[in-house]
Structure 1
Amino acid sequence: MSAYSRAYQALTSGRPLRPDEAAQLLAELRKEHGDELADALGKHATEQYRPKPTDSKADDRRKRRAYGAVMRAANLAREIAASPFRATVPPQGDTTNRSTS
């Protein structure tokens, strides 16, 4: 049974969940949603960046690079959702403070 089904049953049964049960259920629900998102991203990338016979080598390289970027994002989504702690996304680019004086 999925975490969503168990959460629905718990909410509609009238039996309150213990805090540890609720935390476990929410963690499983978050993981399921992360897996679904990652699977959807993977499917989209496979369909969107499939090589065509008319593609040049440059087109093929661009598609492989884009496919890799989408798959890295999918894996990051899966990793964050499975993490037992609230994850923070690492800063992107150069975030060092620079003096303007």
Structure 2
Amino acid sequence: MDMMTLAGTLAAGGDPLPGAKPKAIPGLAPVITELFGYGLYIMLIAGGVAIGIGFYKLSMSDKSRSGGGSEPFKWMGSGVVTVMASGVLLSIINGIAA
């Protein structure tokens, strides 16, 4: 996404993440709802990035017996857990707010 387009979208009051429409949680202020909703979407993206970094580290790592071969799997595992946790929380919140 072009930075000028993003700045123009934010200046016009648009959403920073396209397609991310957090649902209003009953009883919470609108600011808290938006921050929590966007935070979960950002957490989802960060989990995907961690999985990608893990695959990159696995492909570029030293495959000999003396190398520390568990680090890529730590990255991939943490990415998978993050994606699963944020997905579950998003579905719970969207289910409660629906």
Give me the TM-score of the superposition, normalised by structure 1. Answer: 0.44
Give me the TM-score of the superposition, normalised by structure 2. Answer: 0.45
Give the number of the structure whose alpha-carbon radius of gyration is greater.
1
